[in-house]
A and B are shown apart, each in its own frame.
Chain A
Amino acid sequence: MNKLYKLIFFLLILGIGSAEAQIDTNEFNDLDEIDIYSLLKESVFKKVVVRFEESPGNLTEISKDEFMNRGARDLMDVLRMAPGFEFAQNINGQIGIGYQGMWAQQNKITILIDNVAMNDGLQGGFAIAQRIPLGMIEKIQIIKGAGSIQFLGANTMSTINIITRSGNTMEGARITLFNGSYDSTFARRGVSLVMGDNIAKNKYWSFIGSYNNGKITNVAKINNTPWESQCNLLDIFAFAKLKLNKWDFKYLLNNYNSQAAIRQSTVKSLIQNLQISNEFKIKKTDLTILPTLNVSQQLPMNWIMPNPWVTDTNNMMQTKAQARLMLRHSFEDNKIKSLSYFGIDYNWEQNTILYHKTKLDPYSSTSFYAQNVFQKNLSRIYINRLLVKTGIKADMFASQKVTISPKVGVEYYYKNFQINAFAGRYGMNPNNYGNYLVPNLKQEQIQTAQFRVNYILKSNCNVAANLFVNKASNMISFMQNKYYTDTFVNITTAGSKGIELEFNWKLFDGMYLKSYYTYFQKANKDSNQYSIEQGNSGLLGFASHKLYASLQYNLASNYWVNINGQYYSKITGIRSGIRTEQNPLLMLDLTLKYASPKSPIEVQTGIYNILNNNFKYFQAYSNMNNTSGINNPVPGGGREFFIKVIFKLRFYDNDHQSYNYSNPIIF
């Protein structure tokens, strides 16, 4: 821990030392130094606000208005609004993410909450069902391109950053009650509280607390025998944020428990994270310094197996400290605007395997990363605007070789076309536990390339096509052998290639259609289709063809109705050599929402899976027990009726002076 204390001390010294350098730039300070001739040459339009995670072309933002109006119940419903995401049951019953046909757990997708990485330290996954209430979310960013380099975590295929509500925009509280029920049984219930307020200019706080209890249930038929599969879930979440001028303090606590399908095991996960960061702008150098400290403790997988063979396995505790020093440099001239990031992350971990009573040697790594974006054309006019973004990260581990992960993206606007492309190669070393168990584990490598064309037909309509190829080799997979002992393996090549087509149409004020079609196939003849092969078991199945359409209609000023339709083609799974199939599925949902600016109460209700599909499929995962793999191919349960009531409380009346100071990076 000595290194950790040194780091904290270093950051504090840095913070104190730089505090005097804080100077707020003032737009009108140099008013007499400029003349009217130079004013005539300035652009009258607001300069483009560039955030680093923003594209070229690879940022998808889903705002709270978007997902609330469309009746989303949970994070899975929200992510399904973007093409590419699908979900499946992970080992031990947890629901994980698939992306563009690939199983994307094990660090292929990084989940962040306000930049705090949530992936567990053992498998690198994030159990997503009935977790993180939507009421706390301001927006969700899905970042795929070079802009994702800066985030903590492996983020090989994409980064999902969940931005929570902030005190400077809330000035009040929001209580959300949620209840869902299947045809005859309880589905889920939850309560969440989000509150926040300004203290003074640039000083605000917020607090989020939630309790969610849920169940995913499914009935599958195997050899004409119905098997009921249930997964009980409990999620307790607390998140406190305080901003005092340039200082940011965050404390996050998440306790997530899931009882796996058929109640075979209980998986417990506890995350505690404290993040402190500061931002110092150095006058006239175009340089900003952002030191950040993350200290986290995880109990990522505590499996309790009431099985005659095993009573206790896989107890791994992890403490982790991550310090980051980021320098952001902006440079501008009249034609090319450029912004650069340079950063260093130092990561220190102490891992203890309780089951083995073994304390692993401290594990440390250092990452250097650099990003640059330049763009031509200053104004917000999109015609002929060019953005080029590059990023590179080098991860150096004490016991592993250096991994270099470069990404490059280009975005170009020409008339009504928005064209963007990116390519990246990512290397990921095994984690400390993997190193400990299998010292000769190889580095995982993923290559991704995407090319997207978006055409704006009219001011109310667009079509887009995205071609993608993903290939992974030496994929690192966590698994258990037949004695329930942990191991990691490098599995064979996997990959997918395909196309995503989007069509969005504002038919008229109040009626919006969002739709997409996705298709993928295995990347080459050597790769496993759909996902990974696990031991002698089989493949995790996702549908090759998927069609999604969501029609939102503003019935009257305060009422929204939303109809979702999803079509999945045949899903195939192979488990222990047995091939199972799910026939094509059509899912329909209907939701209603009432919200008025004058009313403190907002109500949403609806029915998901109106057609009440019964799934005749069992999940490919798990090679040990004939009953453990039963799963719904579309996690989320059967037909569900839900009701959500939101109470909105404002701390002030409308005349209150609101402090809403954003500080974007402008150039």
Chain B
Amino acid sequence: MAVGTMAIFPVFEAVAQQEVDYTLHAKFLYHFTKYIEWPEDRRAGNFVVGIAGNEDLYTFMNTIAQKKKIKGQNLIVLKIKNTDDPSSCHMLFVARGRNSALPGFVLKIGNRAVLVITEKAGSLRQGSDINFVINNNNLNFELNSTGATGKRMAVSSELRNLATRNE
């Protein structure tokens, strides 16, 4: 809070760390689907988004799911545990605190068309397709379009241009 002079330790916390608003991540996840084409066999049934380790984002995506469809498919949001197999997802978000599980998820996904999204530096090299980065208070993203293409997903050139880095 702004000025709790007595509440000294909350003040320190506010200075030391800024609170990230995951509604913006949720909006990005929704908009990413407009720039990526999933293979034919994934265009029927539900559009499944898996969230590993972020309750806020899970809640926000569920709110979106109540209002929106993705390319005509019903949006389903699942919580993903470290031991789960996320292969049935179209998108998988791995929170910073769960990044240690990323290699395991990538291994289980293999070459299935699952767009892996992370928020920790260096994640592209561990198999992430899109990695969120924060620049000057803004949420940007890095892209590994080669990896996504290798999983039979088509990434639009517009999205490639918007990425701060494209591997």
| A47, CB-defined interface residue at 8 Å | yes
| A319, CB-defined interface residue at 8 Å | no
- Which residues of the other chain, B, contact A58 by a CB distance below 8 angstroms? 3
**Shortest CB distance A98–B (Å):** 19
Stretch at the interface among B5-13, B44-52, B76-84, B121-129: B5-13
* Chain A residue at smallest Cβ distance from B34: A36
Q: Check A31 against B14 for contact (C-beta < 8 Å).
A: no
Q: Check B24 against A60 for contact (C-beta < 8 Å).
A: no
* Chain A residue at smallest Cβ distance from B27: A39
- The residues in A between 455 and 512 inclusive whose CB is less than 8 angstroms from any CB of B are 456, 459-460, 462, 464, 502, 504, 506, 512
Stretch at the interface among A238-246, A374-382, A570-578, A624-632: A374-382
* Chain B residue at smallest Cβ distance from A82: B6
Q: Check A42 against B162 for contact (C-beta < 8 Å).
A: no
- Which residues of the other chain, B, contact A28 by a CB distance below 8 angstroms? 23, 26-27, 60, 63-64, 67-68
| A558, CB-defined interface residue at 8 Å | no
Q: Check B27 against A66 for contact (C-beta < 8 Å).
A: no
**Shortest CB distance B16–A (Å):** 5
* Chain A residue at smallest Cβ distance from B19: A46
**Shortest CB distance A512–B (Å):** 8
In Å, the complex CA distance between A504 and B4 comes to 13
- Which residues of the other chain, B, contact A35 by a CB distance below 8 angstroms? 31
Q: Check A40 against B140 for contact (C-beta < 8 Å).
A: yes
**Shortest CB distance B18–A (Å):** 5
Interface centre among A41, A378, A380 (most CB of B within 10 A): A380
Q: Check B139 against A57 for contact (C-beta < 8 Å).
A: no
Q: Check B15 against A44 for contact (C-beta < 8 Å).
A: no
- The residues in B between 87 and 144 inclusive whose CB is less than 8 angstroms from any CB of A are 134, 137-140
- A25-44 vs B, CB cutoff 8 Å, 1 = contact: the mask equals 01111011011110111111
- Which residues of the other chain, A, contact B26 by a CB distance below 8 angstroms? 28
| B41, CB-defined interface residue at 8 Å | no
Once A28-B63, A59-B3 are accepted as A-B contacts, the answer to whether A462 and B11 lie under 8 Å apart by CB is yes
Stretch at the interface among A48-56, A302-310, A323-331, A337-345: A48-56
In Å, the complex CA distance between A26 and B68 comes to 13
In Å, the complex CA distance between A39 and B28 comes to 7
**Shortest CB distance A22–B (Å):** 19
- Which residues of the other chain, A, contact B6 by a CB distance below 8 angstroms? 60-62, 66, 81-82
- Could you list which residues of chain B lie within 8 angstroms of chain A, going by C-beta atoms? 1-9, 11-12, 14-16, 18-21, 23-24, 26-28, 30-32, 34-35, 60, 63-64, 67-68, 134, 137-140, 159, 162
User: Which of the residues A45, A378, A502, A512 comes within 8 Å of B5, measured between beta carbons?
Assistant: A502
- Which residues of the other chain, B, contact A66 by a CB distance below 8 angstroms? 6-7
9 interchain residue pairs of minimum CB distance: A55-B3, A44-B139, A46-B19, A504-B8, A46-B21, A36-B31, A43-B137, A61-B4, A45-B18
> Number of residue pairs across A and B with beta carbons under 8 Å?
125
In Å, the complex CA distance between A63 and B6 comes to 9
* Chain A residue at smallest Cβ distance from B15: A382
A28-B60, A45-B18 given; name 16 further pairs at CB < 8 Å.
Answer: A31-B67, A32-B68, A34-B27, A39-B28, A40-B139, A40-B162, A43-B137, A44-B137, A44-B138, A50-B2, A55-B3, A56-B3, A58-B3, A378-B137, A411-B3, A456-B15
We find that the number of chain A residues with CB closer than 8 angstroms to chain B is 55
Interface centre among A42, A47, A50 (most CB of B within 10 A): A42
Q: Check B2 against A54 for contact (C-beta < 8 Å).
A: yes
- Which residues of the other chain, A, contact B28 by a CB distance below 8 angstroms? 36, 39
| A420, CB-defined interface residue at 8 Å | yes
13 contacts between A and B (CB under 8 A): A28-B26, A28-B60, A36-B31, A36-B159, A40-B139, A42-B139, A44-B21, A55-B2, A57-B3, A66-B7, A379-B137, A380-B14, A387-B2
- Could you list which residues of chain A lie within 8 angstroms of chain B, going by C-beta atoms? 26-29, 31-32, 34-37, 39-50, 54-63, 66, 81-82, 378-382, 387, 411, 418, 420, 454, 456, 459-460, 462, 464, 502, 504, 506, 512, 514
Once A44-B134, A387-B2 are accepted as A-B contacts, the answer to whether A36 and B162 lie under 8 Å apart by CB is yes
* Chain A residue at smallest Cβ distance from B65: A28
Q: Check A36 against B15 for contact (C-beta < 8 Å).
A: no
Once A31-B67, A57-B3 are accepted as A-B contacts, the answer to whether A39 and B14 lie under 8 Å apart by CB is no
**Shortest CB distance A338–B (Å):** 16
Interface centre among A40, A50, A411 (most CB of B within 10 A): A40
**Shortest CB distance B163–A (Å):** 10
Q: Check B24 against A462 for contact (C-beta < 8 Å).
A: no
**Shortest CB distance A235–B (Å):** 25
User: Which of the residues B8, B21, B31, B67 comes within 8 Å of A47, measured between beta carbons?
Assistant: B21
In Å, the complex CA distance between A454 and B64 comes to 43
* Chain B residue at smallest Cβ distance from A56: B3
Interface centre among A37, A57, A61, A81 (most CB of B within 10 A): A61
* Chain A residue at smallest Cβ distance from B25: A44
In Å, the complex CA distance between A454 and B7 comes to 13
Q: Check A46 against B7 for contact (C-beta < 8 Å).
A: no
* Chain B residue at smallest Cβ distance from A505: B8
In Å, the complex CA distance between A60 and B5 comes to 5
* Chain B residue at smallest Cβ distance from A61: B4
User: Which of the residues A36, A41, A44, A382 comes within 8 Å of B20, measured between beta carbons?
Assistant: A44
In Å, the complex CA distance between A420 and B68 comes to 46
- Which residues of the other chain, A, contact B1 by a CB distance below 8 angstroms? 49, 54, 61
- Which residues of the other chain, B, contact A41 by a CB distance below 8 angstroms? 138
Interface centre among A56, A59, A514 (most CB of B within 10 A): A59
**Shortest CB distance B57–A (Å):** 13
